[in-house]
Amino acid sequence: MKLIEKFADVVIDSGTYESLDRYYVINKVRALVGDADTKVTDEKSVKDQLIDLAVLNQKIEDTITNREILNDQLMDLVTPTPAKLNREFWDQYKSSPNNATNFFYDFCKQNDYIKVAAIKKNVEFSRQTKYGDLEITINLSKPEKDPKAIAAAAKSTSDAYPKCQLCMENEGYLGRLGYPARSNHRIIRMEVGGAEWGFQYSPYAYFNEHCIFLDSKHEPMKIDRQTINNLIQIEQTFPEYFVGSNADLPIVGGSMLAHEHYQGGRHVFPMMKADIKTPLSFDEFPAVTAGVVNWPMTDLRLTSSDTQQLTNLAEKIMNAWKNYSDQSVEVVAYTKDGTRHHTVTPIMHRDGDQYVLDLVLRDNNTSSKYPNGIFHPHDEVAHIKKENIGLIEVMGRAILPARLKTEMQEVKQYWLKQDNHIADYHRPWADEVADRRSITADNVDSVMESEVADVFAEVLENAGVFKNDDNGQQALAKFIKTI
């Protein structure tokens, strides 16, 4: 069978079109890839062969961007319209939230919006540290940037449409140089806090069923009482998922502060497994169990089935932290120019009828010693992780840069005294490890994994506002008294 005919069958079998539509679908595909057809082979998927055919037929240039755009245009043919998909999702929801999310997640894998093959390239492992198992990932799934896109971005002015990659307007957007293709992208509509929100999955998932909840309006992120109410409502809608928000300040926040959104999914993170090291009680909130979590970052955990008391106490803690300063531990709420420096990373999950809310305290001050952030990865760990510590990493799952896959191989060869090209910035750490550990060909992989996990634990300690030493814990106790 010829390629175009074969793909037309795939489209019709998906249910988005019927057998009577076959010529129509064939012509849709021909419009995208050209009229000249060829035989199907077993070397690649039919869709990937069609993209090669489009290059051969000179319908597209052979660039990363053009291939991505055509890929998603072809997969759009097997994707129902947003209205149809939303109806199916909420019909499934009538049976159970789990049925609905399973349906949507499976669909987003089948239509290649979630890049399953690319995600499989990621390196993942977990290793025991003094804070329990920490999860390490080296992110290899996101495609390399198109050189033409980089050049175009240097010359272009800001495009107003879509305003950002989280806007609703991305649904079905063709894509362009420097901006991802979204023809096969679909968003589930839902209500959160009395407003229209969207629910979608992340194309390059960092964990199982990694999803995003986004405001339909392009407005900056903001952490306040409404945030807690929103997280509770999302948990009521999808009790099998956790949901949390990145902080709403630079350095300690995520990479997309311009658009209000949360992240969620079906994953139990190391922080969620951590126990309470210091129980706390608040007389005004008898229905809330509280405590300081045994974690490298400063995490106050609140647990209750009473969502009103939970929200009230969370708001009280957030307001107290927003205005709290303690120069003895370099904690400063506002600088002289009135700039705010305190916020929280709030994360919620369910345990039966109990709502578990982790409030991780954040401070984005800088200093002459720490120009990138006092509570940010310091220079001695920057060779492994120098980027912002966002929501996912706060919970104990490292998202490390792709460069480390090859760089760590060079370090292992250095340890084994083999030919290597170790980066200069890894050498002090590599020497320190070699001095205290006996490294052989049999254990070098295990040593590498455990040492990277220990560095990540130190990264999180750097980001902790009240350190896990006597001075830091005494300072934390003083802050808690103000609540």
CA 426/CA 435 separation, integer angstroms: 14
Q: How much of the chain is helix, strand and coil, in % rounded to 5? A: 40, 20, 40
CA 243/CA 231 separation, integer angstroms: 6
Q: How far apart are the first and last CA of the chain?
A: 72
Cβ(400)–Cβ(411) under 8 Å? no
Residue 129, SS3 per DSSP: strand
pLDDT over 70 (residue 151): no
For residue 382, the tally of other CB atoms under 10 A from its CB is 15
* Each residue's pLDDT tens digit, 269-303: 999 999 999 999 999 999 999 999 999 999 999 99
pLDDT over 80 (residue 159): no
In single-letter form, the type of residue at position 323 comes to N
- Using omega within 30 degrees of 0 as the cis cutoff, is the peptide bond preceding 162 cis? yes
Beta strand 132-138 pairing with 397-400:
parallel
Percent of the chain with pLDDT over 70: 96
* Each residue's pLDDT tens digit, 382-441: 999 999 999 999 999 999 999 999 999 999 999 999 999 999 999 999 999 999 999 999
Report how far apart, in Å, the C-alpha atoms of 126 and of each of 158, 291, 365, 396 are: 40, 26, 31, 10
Beta strand 211-215 pairing with 261-265:
antiparallel
* Each residue's pLDDT tens digit, 328-378: 999 999 999 999 999 999 999 999 999 999 999 999 999 999 999 999 999
Which stretches of 77-194 are assigned E, i.e. beta strand? 123-129, 132-138, 188-192
Per-position DSSP letters for 206-264, written without gaps between them: SSTT-EEEEESS------SHHHHHHHHHHHHH-TTSEEE--BSSTTTB-S-TTS-EEEE
Q: Model confidence at 155, in pLDDT bands (50, 70, 90)?
A: low
| Mean pLDDT value across the chain | 95
The pLDDT of 3-17, averaged and rounded, is 97
Report how far apart, in Å, the C-alpha atoms of 12 and of each of 16, 110, 345, 454 are: 6, 14, 46, 52
pTM, rounded to two decimals: 0.94
28-37, 140-149, 441-450: range with lowest mean pLDDT: 140-149
User: Residue 49 class from Cβ within 10 Å (0-12 exposed, 13-18 middle, 19+ buried)?
Assistant: buried
How much is the pLDDT for 254?
75
How much is the pLDDT for 147?
58
Report how far apart, in Å, the C-alpha atoms of 33 and of each of 5, 28, 50, 172 are: 12, 9, 7, 19
